[in-house]
Amino acid sequence: MLAVVAIGCGAPPTHPRPPPPYAVAEPLSTPRLFARGAISTELPEFSISFSADGATAYFDRAAADRSKFEIVASHFDHGAWQPAAPLPFSTGEYRDVDPFVAGDRLYFSSNRPRSDGATDFDTWYVERRGERWSDAIHVAGAPSGPGTQVFVSIARDGMMYFQTDATGSGDIYRAPRVGDAYPTAAPIDGIDTPEAEANPAISPDGTLLVFVSERAGGSGRDDLYASRFRAGAWSQPRNLGPAINSPQADFAPAFSPDGKYLFFTSERPGVVPASDGGRPPGDIYQVDVAALGI
């Protein structure tokens, strides 16, 4: 009797998934300028967020005098980040800032008028529908009032973090998702102080919060701070120190989709080597989360 040989009955061969385009082979223990010439340019750039596969970067680019703000996108193609172009819903007519990708949605902050005619900064989103974007949709509930709400960041479990001035100064609130809405929000025990806190970025797993403050004892005007969620409580926020912060403003933190990298904007000398006495433009930097030491 001939032996029967089974072909293809074993497990299919596995191929390692290529690293996302923002990944680097060597450790980034100190901040490095990100995508010089395509994303970081001589103009002000801030508030970066990536598509799930890491191949598209969404961020803000402002005019040199900061009179105009646009959300732009750069795609990684042919081994390099390509020059960024404005998104169709962000033409500079309104001040659209702080993009954040969550699934098929891109959340952002804007002073575009609401249905009641108000033009304070609220939270909006657009949905990706194939190759097109929907019209901007206003997010009702906690992320849109009262007062100014900006800089949305959302963990994988749906918990939203944002900055508000509803109490008279900058505070960080978080809001649980209920269905498709965020009806209520509250400050975070151990994070908010009488001083201003801003620009909250939550890690994808919801355990690390990086934010901006001008608390005494920092390295510069605006510094990055971090707090870790352990045993049901947030740790005492810690200044990330001179290895991360600079004497200039450091702000707009963001995590990569895999949680391995922290991106942020710094007004330290970068694409523009030194300031001419005015406000430096600011560039986007990248560093390993492991280098934060928290």
Q: What is the pLDDT of residues 223-240, one digit of tens each?
A: 999 999 999 999 999 999
Comparing 13-22, 95-104, 176-185, the range with the smallest average pLDDT is: 13-22
Q: Across all residues in the chain, what is the average pLDDT?
A: 92
Comparing 6-15, 41-50, 201-210, the range with the smallest average pLDDT is: 6-15
Whole-number pLDDT of residue 9: 47
Q: What is the pLDDT of residues 113-171, one digit of tens each?
A: 988 888 889 999 999 998 899 999 999 999 997 889 999 999 999 999 999 987 777 89
Range of the domain at 145: 41-292
| Within-domain flag for 187 | yes
- The average pLDDT across 237-266 equals 97
Whole-number pLDDT of residue 145: 78
- The average pLDDT across 70-79 equals 97
Tell me what percent of the residues of the chain surpass a pLDDT of 90: 79
Cβ atoms of 215 and 169 closer than 8 Å: no
| Within-domain flag for 273 | yes
| Within-domain flag for 10 | no
Comparing 17-21, 54-58, 116-120, 176-180, the range with the smallest average pLDDT is: 116-120
CATH of the domain at 66: 2.120.10.30
Banded model confidence at residue 15, pLDDT cuts 50, 70, 90: low
Is the bond preceding 269 in cis, omega lying within 30 degrees of 0? Answer: no
Whole-number pLDDT of residue 10: 53
| Within-domain flag for 17 | no
| Within-domain flag for 285 | yes
Residue 277 CA to residue 275 CA, distance in Å, equals 5
| Within-domain flag for 18 | no
Q: How many domains does the chain have?
A: 1
Banded model confidence at residue 190, pLDDT cuts 50, 70, 90: confident
| Within-domain flag for 48 | yes
Whole-number pLDDT of residue 5: 37
| Within-domain flag for 21 | no
Sequence-separated contacts (24+) of 60-69 with Cβ below 8 Å: 60/96, 60/97, 60/98, 60/99, 64/281, 68/92, 69/95, 69/96, 69/97
